[in-house]
Amino acid sequence: MIIKRKIIQIEEDKCDGCGQCVPSCAEGAIQIVDGKARLAAEKYC
What are the sequence ranges of the domains in the chain? 18-45
The per-residue pLDDT for 40 is 86
Note if the pTM is more than 0.85.
Answer: no
Q: What is the mean pLDDT of residues 33-44?
A: 87
CB atoms within 10 A of CB 37: 22
Beta-carbon contacts of residue 16 (< 8 Å; ≥ 6 apart): none
The per-residue pLDDT for 27 is 86
Span 2-37, pLDDT tens digits: 666 677 889 989 999 999 999 988 888 999 999 999
Residue 24, helix vs strand vs coil? helix
